[in-house]
Structure 1
């Protein structure tokens, strides 16, 4: 097993086991649940949350993997140790920390960081770059911003076809087309701006790009990008000293599961649009925009939540509804019965399980269909902790049980003002006749309804 893995803290082992779950990795005794079913006669796989298992059980599972996988697991332990060393250094020498490094730390503290930045670099073709000594990297403020364009290949993977890198003065350090070296199914020219003709005669490969990145990132430079993990994944380049511009700002009117697009964030923070509607991406402009966002953050702080205009949020997010606080015993496919239209559901919910509940997204064919489904949803209107409007619904299952959860739009705009509330829920005109009618109605209702029934009628049940 090795001393490094055996000596790791339990929370680190929990992360590694969850990593194996997310990536469908299996040891000699199968996946995590297979291992529990075989080795725990009392509980089996019914208590599958790694956090609820002992350190010995977690280690016993991880030792069933091959030596190559265990080597990778030790790398994850080392990463955790590096983060701890950085945190300790920042606490002890806070006055020596560069402002740029504080944004690196802000990125690593984001809820989605560990989910998105734990790369499968055990796979063939990946390059891993160490960050070097903690003391030297903490004082460095040198930054490079990167952006890539990817095409869809016939094997179902994405391949990089253009890479651009700029420094903090927006000077171009790298701008090159890349030959994917495999059959391309869709060049996505309307997005990437790259066509088959553009790649004719291009000899630069992904390996060449990886070598260039190792060279220009030497001496602990910070890599900047928007949703940077997507670029690093496509580049097969594992690097941990990063600033993700999607993570360093707070959003006043987006759910915690969403981030703003690069274009909408630049509108709110820098006052300009990276591209017009329908215009293809420009790799170089996107890299410059990411650097401009970091520069603005360093200069102005932007510590208060930023308002993101609804119509500037990525259209795919507007075509979804978020269902949350769903009991784990309720299969996600059963949720579809309460929505109008022709929705589908994201069944990859493992990373969003929180104790006894989980959340998932319901996808629709277009924005109008998503809006209509929410408006027609039979449920009591409430607000979440950030003041966003949502609906509390109850679903009656085929076995007679009733399950409750919440549904809200992925994008709903700002907190509702009094005038907006009136528009959403018009109040009756307050006149004498209406008051009499309401009073008579209340009396009749009290005669018909028992107190017990009134307590149960908090929210409608969807059959």
Structure 2
């Protein structure tokens, strides 16, 4: 991975105060890059979740799947390597569609569920899909994508494990505790905390994102 300062400088060289940035959950990218920008079109904010709080957001892949009936030119989501250029194209197409129907807006969309998938995050830098595959004999591990973390300026990865059935996914998740420590939400530091009210608020805020 490139040094943080180089990545930040190259991004700043590409934009000006007049540049309109289009993307999905751009605040995360800008926060990680420690860049402030005001002209943003964020598809994570444009497309609301049906029956959810304003904090709940669609993942980009889910949004593409949900919107393909209305935007046939959207390339379908395919398993395999993550392609940032495809993400950018999807976000731009989604934003242009919403602009084209203005002043109307797309009605809130139901969240997609993933009954056969385990989502892994905070994967240490250098970990490969092959290494993770060893924990999931009956699942298929996608490529590990590493992201710059704004709080620590370090790189951590995310990936998915897909199973033939929900039953196999649930069994694999249950078996995980034999090999690794499993965290659910922001709980890893709770053993030494006593601020119950803040802990409850933190847990509620975390799960409102899903």
TM-score by length of 1: 0.25
- Structure with higher RCO (Cα < 8 A, 6+ apart): 2
Give the structure with the larger helix fraction.
1
Give the structure with the larger strand fraction.
1
TM-score by length of 2: 0.49
> Which structure would you say has the larger Rg?
1
